[in-house]
């Protein structure tokens, strides 16, 4: 064993081996040297035991000492090794150390034999423990199965690559044709905007949509919906009318008071004032001015709110009918939704278009399926086994024979691609006939969607209408209370102003001089009046005109 490890150590010291192993070369060398010293120590241990059996006590001491020295060297080289190695070395040290100490004491105190030098003793040589037998490396019973049995020759790999390229070329050619046809088909169908799933939506009109069913169900548990909305509208209209009447009465009182005041001013303006006294100032009423100011403010607020109230009533009138419909039987709701009325010829046109669109989809699906089959066949096609046993000169012929397996699926694909032109021509003719039906169905669908959206909007607007109606009622109730107070205030102010005017009129009448008596004039001859000859006596007294007017 020591000899084998020495050969291994010499191999590790070789420069080529060192360059190949790199950093681990030093670790391996150190491990091998440690094992050389360890097994040498074990060998000398056994040599010492043999000397003991032969009663050569001096040789026994030198062998045990040599074993101890070599084990110490092994321990030095074992630094960094696993704990199991360290434990084995410690155990061996206990054995060899004990043997050496015992042998040395026995020789020193009992036998007193001379201890020879180690190099004078016979060296330990290795001995074969078994008999070598000849081995046949080709016999599977001896060597086992051939580990290179599945190794493919490089020539077969190259031939397989060439065959793979032939398959890829075939797939590229077919995919180019398929993609070209698919592009034409996609552009054609996109331009027509024909969806097989929505071209015939007649089933949509045979039932109430779920969103509308939810609204009907919600209203079925609230039977007083329309009644509450109508009552709210009536209450709001009543309060609105009361406010408008109160404000109109206040405006009428103010206008009447203004007319009386103007009439008084006109009368006072015609009365002659005493000489040297200035004309009396026009009467003023702070109460009426305040009433007029507040009335103007209320009228402005009422005018703005009146527009909102009108719009609210319009919205309510618009939604009440829809809410009544949603609260009624489902048959009425279904009857209120528009539905198409197609003739037999139009239905036939529609069925023909659906049939052709089904053919288009069938052609697409078949094309996709054939393409997938072709890809799977190419993916699974592996002729490496055949290539290994085929001569290079026969490779091309083998390729041609193997590629024939794709001829059938290629024929199916070619037929599918060729049928596209006829299918698209039939689809074009059917689409021309379908144009009028399509327009009629589109109009009905638009009306149907609009009706559904309107009904849904009416349901969703109910809560908002009730909220705004309540807000309007609260607003007009507050405004009515303020208008009523202002009306009482206006009445009181008008009465006070009327009484004030009466006092002013009586006071002014007392200030006027008594009227001058007048006598009838004698009859004169008729002649042209001379403006220059008229005197003051020819004019009627101003007092008589004023009194007559009064």
User: In this predicted model, which residue has the larger pLDDT, 308 or 539?
Assistant: 308
Query: In the chain, what percentage of residues exceed pLDDT 70?
Result: 74
Given a cut of 80, is residue 196 above it in pLDDT? no
User: In this predicted model, which residue has the larger pLDDT, 92 or 436?
Assistant: 92
The answer to whether 230 and 252 have CB atoms below 8 angstroms apart is: no
Tell me, yes or no, whether 197 and 94 share the same domain: no
* 3-state helix/strand/coil string of 476-494: HHHHHHHHHHHHHHHHHHH
Tell me, yes or no, whether 94 and 219 share the same domain: no
- DSSP for 226-276, written as a single string: HHHHHHHHHHHHHHHHHHHHHHHHHHHHHHHHHHHHHHHHHHHHHSPPPTT
Tell me, yes or no, whether 120 and 230 share the same domain: no
- For 340-380, what is each residue's pLDDT tens digit? 777 888 888 888 888 888 898 899 999 999 999 999 988 88
Burial of 100 (0-12, 13-18, 19+ CB in 10 A): buried
CB atoms within 10 A of CB 417: 18
Identify the pLDDT of residue 94.
93
Given a cut of 70, is residue 279 above it in pLDDT? no
Asked whether residue 333 is domain-assigned, the answer is yes
Asked whether residue 527 is domain-assigned, the answer is no
Q: What is the mean pLDDT of residues 499-523?
A: 65
Asked whether residue 454 is domain-assigned, the answer is yes
User: In this predicted model, which residue has the larger pLDDT, 274 or 20?
Assistant: 20
Tell me, yes or no, whether 88 and 200 share the same domain: no
Tell me, yes or no, whether 78 and 172 share the same domain: no
Tell me, yes or no, whether 248 and 121 share the same domain: no
Identify the pLDDT of residue 280.
41
Q: What is the tally of helices (H) and strands (E) in the chain?
A: 16, 0
Tell me, yes or no, whether 81 and 174 share the same domain: no
Q: Which domain does 224 fall in, by range?
A: 152-268+285-510
Tell me, yes or no, whether 104 and 45 share the same domain: yes
Asked whether residue 547 is domain-assigned, the answer is no
Asked whether residue 247 is domain-assigned, the answer is yes
Asked whether residue 140 is domain-assigned, the answer is no
Tell me, yes or no, whether 67 and 209 share the same domain: no
Tell me, yes or no, whether 360 and 499 share the same domain: yes
Identify the pLDDT of residue 263.
76
Tell me, yes or no, whether 110 and 169 share the same domain: no
Asked whether residue 147 is domain-assigned, the answer is no
Q: Please enumerate, as own/partner, the contacts of 275-283 that have beta carbons within 8 Å and a separation of 24 or more.
A: 280/504, 280/508, 283/497, 283/500, 283/501, 283/504
Please choose, from the candidates 45, 29, 120, the residue with its C-alpha nearest in 3D space to the C-alpha of residue 77: 29
Number of domains in the chain: 2
Which of the given ranges, 158-172, 316-330, 527-541, has the highest pLDDT on average? 158-172
Tell me, yes or no, whether 428 and 348 share the same domain: yes
The answer to whether 47 and 124 have CB atoms below 8 angstroms apart is: yes
Q: Is 308 helix (H, G, I), strand (E, B) or coil?
A: helix
Q: What is the mean pLDDT of residues 316-320?
A: 67
Asked whether residue 492 is domain-assigned, the answer is yes
pTM: 0.42
Identify the pLDDT of residue 310.
67
- Rounded CA gap, 13 and 38, in Å? 20
């Amino acid at each position: 064993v020591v000899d084998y490890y020495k050969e291994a150590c010499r191999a590790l010291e070789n420069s080529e081996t060192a360059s190949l192993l790199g950093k681990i070369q030093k670790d391996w060398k150190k491990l091998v040297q440690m094992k050389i010293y360890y097994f040498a120590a074990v060998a000398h241990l056994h040599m010492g035991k043999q000397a003991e059996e032969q009663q050569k006590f001096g040789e026994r001491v030198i062998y045990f000492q040599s074993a101890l020295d070599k084990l110490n060297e092994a321990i030095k080289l074992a630094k960094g090794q696993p704990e199991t190695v360290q434990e084995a070395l410690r155990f061996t040290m206990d054995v060899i150390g004990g043997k050496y100490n015992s042998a040395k004491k026995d020789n020193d105190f009992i036998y007193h034999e001379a201890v020879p030098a180690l190099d004078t003793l016979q060296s330990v040589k290795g001995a074969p423990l078994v008999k070598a037998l000849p081995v046949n490396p080709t016999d599977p019973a001896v060597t086992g199965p051939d580990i290179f049995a599945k190794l493919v020759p490089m020539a077969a790999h190259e031939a397989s690559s060439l065959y793979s390229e032939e398959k890829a070329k075939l797939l590229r050619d077919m995919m180019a044709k398929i993609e070209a046809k698919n592009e034409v088909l996609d552009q054609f169908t996109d331009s027509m905007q024909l969806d097989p799933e929505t071209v015939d939506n007649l089933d949509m009109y045979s039932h109430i949509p779920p969103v509308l069913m939810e609204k009907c169900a919600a209203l079925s548990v609230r039977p007083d919906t329309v009644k509450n909305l109508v009552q709210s509208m009536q209450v709001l209209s009543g309060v609105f009318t009361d406010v408008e009447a109160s404000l109109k009465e206040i405006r009428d009182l103010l206008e009447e008071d203004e007319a009386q005041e103007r009439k008084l001013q006109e009368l006072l303006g015609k009365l002659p004032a005493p000489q040297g006294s200035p004309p009396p100032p026009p009467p003023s009423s702070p109460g009426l001015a305040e009433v007029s100011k507040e009335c103007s403010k209320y009228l402005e607020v009422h005018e703005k709110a009146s527009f909102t109230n009108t719009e609210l009533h319009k919205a309510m009138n618009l939604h009440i009918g829809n809410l009544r419909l949603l609260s009624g039987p489902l048959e009425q709701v279904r009857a209120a939704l528009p539905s198409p009325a197609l003739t037999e010829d139009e239905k036939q046109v529609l069925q023909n278009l659906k049939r052709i669109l089904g053919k288009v989809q069938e052609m697409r699906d078949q094309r996709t399926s054939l393409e997938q089959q072709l890809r799977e066949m190419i993916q699974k096609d592996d002729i490496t086994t055949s290539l290994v046993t085929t001569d290079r000169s026969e490779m091309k012929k083998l390729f041609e024979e193997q590629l024939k397996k794709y001829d059938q699926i290629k024929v199916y694909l070619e037929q599918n691609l060729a049928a596209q032109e006829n299918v698209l021509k039939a689809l074009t003719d059917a689409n021309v006939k379908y144009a009028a039906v399509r327009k009629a169905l589109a109009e009905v669908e638009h009306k149907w969607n609009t009706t559904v959206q309107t009904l849904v909007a009416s349901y969703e607007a109910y809560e908002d209408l009730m909220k705004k109606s309540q807000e309007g009622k609260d607003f007009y109730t507050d405004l009515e209370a303020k208008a009523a107070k202002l009306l009482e205030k206006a009445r009181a102010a008008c009465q006070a102003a009327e009484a004030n005017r009466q006092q002013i009129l009586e006071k002014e009448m007392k200030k006027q001089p008594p009227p001058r008596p007048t006598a009838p004039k004698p009859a004169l001859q008729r002649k042209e009046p001379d403006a220059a000859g008229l005197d003051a006596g020819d004019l009627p007294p101003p007092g008589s005109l004023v009194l007559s007017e009064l």
